[in-house]
A and B are shown apart, each in its own frame.
Chain A
Amino acid sequence: MMNIDLKKQTRVIKENLFSSPVSTLLTFLTSYIMISFFRGMFGFATAPDKDWLSVLNNMQLYMVQAYPESDFIRIWICVGLGFIFSGLSVGLWETGEKTSLSKLCLTFSKIIFGIIFLTLIAPTTSVIVSTATGIREQVDVFSYAERIPLLSILLGLLVVFFLLSKINLNFNKSFLVSIYLFVPIVFLWLMKIPTIKLDAENQRVFPDPLMPIANSTKIPWTLIWMSFVAAYLIGIYFKNKKQFKTAVSISWVLLPLLIFSWIFKKPLIDLNELIRNDIPVFIGFLLVGVLTIYFINNKIVEKFYGYYLGLLVIVTLASLFLKVILLVKAGLLLLLLFSVIIPAVSTSAKGKRSLTIVWIVSLTTTAFLLEGGTSTTQIVVPGSSIFGGFSLTWLLAIFGTYVSFPLGVLLALGRNSSLPIIKGVCTGIIELVRSVPYITWLFFASVTMAVFLPDGVEFNLIVRVLIVTAFFSGAYFAENIRGGLQSIPKGQFEAADAIGMNTVQKTSLIVLPQALRAIVPTLVSSIITGFKDSSLVTIIGLFDFLTIGRMVIGNQSIPINFIGHDRENLLFIALVYWIFTFTLSRRSMKFEKRLGLGER
């Protein structure tokens, strides 16, 4: 497969890059800009005054900020659970697409060719500016003699890939993920990065230049990789079990809650309170909901449905003003919402079963959120919040999407509703939230929100930020989704009407699936925006990933003096953001392709 058709390649290049004088000019201009950019970046990164240890040494700070080391196991469990469920999902939903070793080798060879090219054009000198005097100075960075070993390794790899490509071997595309994960873990074990030790006067000494830096992380990461592969194999094994897929899907919904409220938070649980109040209330709601689902369409009960709904509305409204635990209020609201849609859905055994699952999941979710949101944590952290660094960024991004997406769907449907009250309320929320900047909402969360909360309800700052973020991106999601709803031709509604579907069925089976697939690109860009906008929380004193690099490390003098070395860190942060957003957009492109199957 390595024999590239040279004639074809030249033709492609001719047609795409040099087809006319203008395109030739553009090609040269763009390559000049790109090469200069690379040379500048390379010179910056390799200049001797850069201290990259300021990045490597602060990895722990970057990831979890001040989270106590004794509770690290919680974080590892979170990450591990995430990987296990990813593995299960990759296995369960694998498409059976095959790829061959030779194809893979071709891809890697292309990458190596790229690296060789970049090595050859890399600059030999770099400019450093002395901070004290401001004098610019040329220094040698990467001499041609130094390049020879690197180039020979690369050429050797090329030969290896060429030989490997002769082997006729096919494997599943999805299995590649475990190989891609395996490579960095091998590197963790092999790579030797000098560890810094300090002597009595806080001066740097390098006692063992070949000691691996990853001592504390390589064992957990290896375990996680192993469980990923195991989960993948289990997923493959249960591929045809539909119940297993449902269970994994539901777990994906519940997993962030588990991570947030039980593992990350280590909540202070009053067992007495839990047994006396929360558990009985939870079970009570669970039973009432299930009974409603199973008996509401019974001939005798049906007559009383109106009274039941009326009573429920009164009790719910009353509970909002009474002194009862939050779970009762939330549970009543949820039950009311369910009771409105139950009669339409629970007319068959299948509908009843799926509705029961949805009821249990949403009730559990609500209970978890309330428990996690209002309970105090036992984890003691110096400073204002337990979350910091990448874990905070991640939390805001995931929860922002996770809570705001369903909220956005509800708001969009509400705004399109023909009932004037629902329409008015939803339009009001969307317009109010969108007309105020995100930063203002963040200040609202940190300063004013406590005033609006009922007596006895207190939310942690991070929870308040999460609520605000959910509403903010929810409003934008809602407008995107509304655009998708409008793109559905009238004929689809008529066709659904003509076969006798009711409003709930029409919305969930015909309208939403089409509306959502029409706006996948916009949704992904909203998610990416949310991920990056999370760095704004620095303004209310939370330390997100970016703030750690910019503020903390740039001012770090103990144990090692890294003052002034924030530019390396900014570059590293940009790289990490780029890796995540790029992966996300690539994934979404693949997803779009898969969804596009049924399009005209």
Chain B
Amino acid sequence: MSIIEAKDVKKWFGDFQALKGISMEIQEGEVLVVCGPSGSGKSTFIRCINRLEQHQEGSIIVDGIELTNDIKNIEAIRSEVGMVFQSFNLFPHLTVLQNITLAPIWVRKKSKSDSEVKAMELLERVGIPEQAHKFPGQLSGGQQQRVAIARALAMEPKIMLFDEPTSALDPEMIKEVLDVMKELAKSGMTMIVVTHEMGFAKEVADRVMLFDDGLMVEENTPNEFFDNPKNDRTKLFLSQIL
């Protein structure tokens, strides 16, 4: 059974149509990489999946719940879908540990001590347990992004969305974040990753999609996508990026 099902999703920002009818399905445990030029609607699409943006036409069904304006549904879906942002968006007034335990304590209503144990496990998993009591401002970009991944994982989500997680990072830091994401993919997490890291796509993705001008122009397995693309637009995109 597919865990996310989007049918003919359309979205306008004023007069500008950002999504011109996207349909896709993703199975549990699948890793999907979405790429495309800027302004192609790829970020908008994954932000629609946890309702940070509202789509105006079509339907999105996440884990059997359709996204509507019902706040209860939105909150239910958001606690099942973790999201990692391009600009980290950690809470600067809370320590790393508090950043991670905030949602489990207040949204999942877990006890503080349990959440802290879990948070330390997650920090161990992303490789920075020694930074637990620092503030986000004292960490490097790569460390901040890893904390952001740990924060999303603390909710024990079924799906993880990554919105260009490495675009704001220095080249040396990209690797440490990608390593964490690879490990996550291997553990069987369902992931949708918007990225330009083609190496990551080749190595980890089950499927790769190319967005252009609000439409999905190609959907393929990584090998086919890179070696034998069907669409001319894909060829052009790959020639520019590789």
Contacts and interface: CB of A to CB of B under 8 A. Distances in A.
Contact of A495 (B51, B71, B90, B107): B90
B33 to A, nearest CB: 20
B85 A598 contact: no
Contact of A505 (B87, B95, B106, B137): B106
A455 interface: no
Contacts of B226: none
B135 A348 contact: no
B92 A498 contact: no
Interface residues of A, number: 25
A500 interface: yes
B2 to A, nearest CB: 22
Contacts of A146: none
B92 A600 contact: yes
B210 interface: no
Contacts of B92: 514, 598-600
A417 interface: no
Interface string B71-91: 100010011011101010111
A492 B94 contact: no
A499 B137 CA distance: 21
Contacts of B151: 499
B183 to A, nearest CB: 21
A399 to B, nearest CB: 29
A497 B52 contact: yes
Contacts of A600: 92, 136-137
A597 B95 CA distance: 10
A207 B171 CA distance: 87
Contacts of B78: 497-500
A499 B155 contact: yes
A348 B112 CA distance: 12
A448 interface: no
A495 B155 CA distance: 13
Contact of B91 (A348, A495, A497, A505): A495
A342 to B, nearest CB: 15
Interface in A551-600: 597-600
B90 A498 contact: no
B85 A510 contact: no
Nearest to B53: A494
B134 to A, nearest CB: 9
A600 B139 CA distance: 9
Given A491-B85, A500-B79, A514 B107 contact: no
Given A491-B89, A514-B93, 18 more contacts: A491-B85, A495-B85, A495-B89, A497-B52, A498-B50, A499-B78, A499-B79, A499-B103, A500-B75, A500-B107, A501-B103, A502-B75, A505-B107, A517-B93, A598-B94, A599-B92, A599-B137, A600-B136
Which 6 A-B residue pairings sit nearest by Cβ, starting from the closest? A598-B135, A500-B79, A495-B89, A499-B103, A491-B89, A600-B137
